[in-house]
Structure 1
Amino acid sequence: MAVSGSLAQGRVKLPGAFERGVDIIRMLEHVDEWPEATGLYFIMPTGSQLINHTRFQLQPWYGDAQKELVGLWSNFLGLEFVMMIAAPNVLQSPGLKNWLYRPSAIDVLIGKSKRQIGLSWQDGRLHRPIQVTFEKLVTSTASKGTDS
């Protein structure tokens, strides 16, 4: 997305430069060489309520100066993640300490049933799962149409 020069918010073009020191091509070719604290984060606080949308959203994630890309935000079925390509600074952004770094799984509890998507990280660390409990089906009157 950044290389295409097509990043925009509304009709305003956004910068496509990566943070200094980020070699995205090398990171993609050598996943074992990602800098410390980079990678996938689950960013929703414990106890958050979400709506399971049947869509996938992507958005660039900018650093404090809003000029350089440091990651990619995504929303997958209502779950929010950020893939950080530059190591975040927890001292400058204290909210980051609440993010779940490299979750081990996504556990979805529906009544007595449990569904799981397992994630594997070969970094020697202990990783915690994301746990989501299905509470109720929500229907939208806005999405209901008339048959023709």
Structure 2
Amino acid sequence: MMRAWIPPILFTLSGSAVAAELIRQGNPWGAAAVLVVFALPAGVNSPLIFPKSVGAAEAQRRSAADGRPVVFWRPGCTYCIRLRMRLGRNARRLHWVDIWRDPEGAAVVRAANEGNETVPTVVVAGRPHVNPDPAWVRAQLSSSA
């Protein structure tokens, strides 16, 4: 679980160090700007912007029941962030599996990607799709409703 927080913590610590140096030099406005610049990627890379993850088995069970896609992702992945942002509110209707928190989910992704943990991997009706276009995922979500 801690592994997911490493990128945001590093962004926060780095920004704080640079801001502290700017404050020491007498530039509080520059320090504030640096904190904002480092806080944005920290927030985007944190697990907080993604809907609550479930285990792979639970996600697959839910998907079988309601027909909604399952998204396998990991924190810090720019393609996962792009998918999440482009889906907007619709992202909450998908079943999200964090492969860093769920070894079974990581195994599903490796099986679909020739041993690689390539994310996002979206599973629709049992078929994996690697890094699909967000518009296509939105269409799959519409057709399952």
For Structure 1 versus Structure 2, the TM-score category normalised by the shorter chain is under 0.3
Relative to its length, the structure with more helix (as a share) is 2
Relative to its length, the structure with more strand (as a share) is 1
Higher relative contact order (Cα pairs below 8 Å, separated by 6+ residues): 2
